[in-house]
Structure 1
Amino acid sequence: MKAVTTLSRIVALSAAFASPSYAYQAGDIIVRAGATTVEPQESSDAIALNGSTLSLAGGNTHLTVDSNTQLGLTFSYVLDKHWAIELLAATPFSHTAAATGELAGLDIARVKQLPPTLSAIYYFNNSGKFKPYLGAGINYTIFFDEKINSQADAALEGLGLTGAKVSLDDSWGAALQIGADYMIDDNWLLNASIRWIDIDSKATIKFDGGHQLSSDVAIDPYVYTLAIGYKF
């Protein structure tokens, strides 16, 4: 009987080593890399000149912001079988701010941004290959390398507005996400996620002589990611 018991333990132990362990455990680190697209769902106040709404023949003029795709990176630290902390990073996103209304089609400026986001992640099913999750956290978006478009610069100079310098305020905001990991084996995984990030900024163009154009912009993008990851 002792021999049978010993043999059964050896078989069980062998099976445990032979079977992949798909469960995340406290202390695991998960690194993911892939394509991340920022798709703004922007709205903005009418562009103001020296504080007064800029009205043209077609009505008030607003700003719109285009989409951009870059390399996205996430780093997760597993706290227990359900919870993890995740940091989102990326190579800089580049966006064009264009005018609407009477000035539709006029690219105003280009700007780069980085949106580091720290989130708490809750996994619904930690033991299987497919691991859906929800996340919530905080985002800090850094805008930099703002440049006026040459076409817009020429148009503004024609109005007597020279020396244009563009700036966008950095933003703090909430971030929500839904996603899932799919384990290829006990280390490699595929990931897909959708985020919504609250990004509010003030865009300002200052000119020689103290004149300025400004607009408050709610960018509020959806952020889509497809990535491959590795669990350490």
Structure 2
Amino acid sequence: MSTIFNRSSLIAAAALACAALTPAVSQAGAGDIVVRARALYLEPANESDAIPSLEVPENAIHVSSKYIWEVDASYFVTDNVALELIATSPQKHTVSIGDTKLGSVRHLPPTLTVQYHFAPTNPVVRPYIGAGVNYTRFSAVKLAVPDVAQLELETNSWGPAFQIGADFPITDRLSLNVDFKKIDIRSDVKIKGTDTVVTRVKIDPILFGVGLAYRF
């Protein structure tokens, strides 16, 4: 967890330094659309129930961290309130227990948030917070406990999403963006072809992103 916050602190500091050198520019207002493209670092919480029959302790199942891309669009309902739809492509993750690889899974996690922008006219930094809902669809599930059983996940996951970030104006329409998100993504793990639940996995990732925003 410390790795992602160390990286975020350095990038945020650089963003503030760059933004302080830019001239005053106009802001997004009611009716505007802002499109952002971000590079993200995704770090799962890696929480899971114990599996007594296999002598697997709590939180032993790990989903791989990775860098991904994201595109989102925000529609400003008022000067301060915006609706943001966040999208990416299906992302593949490796799943393991300790040094034992269980396989891989893909997930597609579109997210809708309502944002509040605190200082939409500030020429240096424009912070915001957001909250909403995430829908995740799992696909291409290829999981198995070696020499024991094939596994499968619930297809769908619904959960809350929380967000904090800031835009740093560069020009009249272009901004640098830094963004944190915490998303609840959870699924029951079952023996394939049965209703037998082996464990429940809480992926619940933290995502740190940096990118560019363009106001239309």
Instruction: Compute the TM-score of the two structures, normalised by the length of structure 2.
Output: 0.81
The CA distance in 2 between the partners of 1:196 and 1:135, in whole Å, is 10
Partners of 1:70 and 1:92 within 8 A in 2: no
1:146 is the counterpart of 2:146? no
The CA distance in 2 between the partners of 1:137 and 1:220, in whole Å, is 14
Q: Deviations over 1:171-191 (max 9, x none)?
A: 111111110011111111111
> What is the aligned counterpart of 2:157 among 134, 156, 171?
171
Q: Deviations over 1:150-185 (max 9, x none)?
A: xx5xx31xx5x4xx3533442111111110011111
Aligned to 1:15: none
The CA distance in 1 between the partners of 2:197 and 2:79, in whole Å, is 52
The CA distance in 2 between the partners of 1:37 and 1:169, in whole Å, is 24
Q: How many residues align?
A: 192
The CA distance in 2 between the partners of 1:226 and 1:43, in whole Å, is 26
Partners of 2:80 and 2:116 within 8 A in 1: yes
Q: CA RMSD in A?
A: 2.2
- Structure 1 residues 132, 145: closer, same or farther in 2, change over 3 A? same
Code of the residue aligned with 2:140 in structure 1: it is: D
> What is the aligned counterpart of 1:120 among 94, 114, 118?
114
The CA distance in 1 between the partners of 2:120 and 2:87, in whole Å, is 24
> What is the aligned counterpart of 2:48 among 38, 44, 48?
44
Aligned to 1:75: 73
The CA distance in 2 between the partners of 1:97 and 1:202, in whole Å, is 14
Code of the residue aligned with 1:131 in structure 2: it is: R
**CA shift for structure 1 position 42:** 2.1
The CA distance in 1 between the partners of 2:195 and 2:162, in whole Å, is 38
1:90 is the counterpart of 2:88? yes
Aligned to 2:102: 108
**CA shift for structure 1 position 46:** 1.6
Partners of 1:135 and 1:178 within 8 A in 2: yes
Greater than 6 Å deviation, 4+ residue runs: none
Aligned to 2:198: 214
The CA distance in 2 between the partners of 1:97 and 1:219, in whole Å, is 11
- Structure 1 residues 118, 228: closer, same or farther in 2, change over 3 A? same
Partners of 2:188 and 2:197 within 8 A in 1: no
1:231 is the counterpart of 2:208? no
**CA shift for structure 1 position 24:** 1.2
Aligned to 1:204: 190
Aligned to 2:170: 184
Partners of 1:143 and 1:169 within 8 A in 2: yes
The CA distance in 1 between the partners of 2:109 and 2:205, in whole Å, is 11
- Please say which structure displays the higher CA radius of gyration: 1
Partners of 1:68 and 1:93 within 8 A in 2: no
Code of the residue aligned with 1:216 in structure 2: it is: R
Partners of 1:54 and 1:60 within 8 A in 2: no
Q: Secondary structure at the match of 2:119?
A: coil
The CA distance in 1 between the partners of 2:101 and 2:159, in whole Å, is 27
Code of the residue aligned with 1:179 in structure 2: it is: G
**CA shift for structure 1 position 220:** 1.2
The CA distance in 1 between the partners of 2:84 and 2:93, in whole Å, is 25
The CA distance in 2 between the partners of 1:54 and 1:105, in whole Å, is 19
Code of the residue aligned with 1:76 in structure 2: it is: S
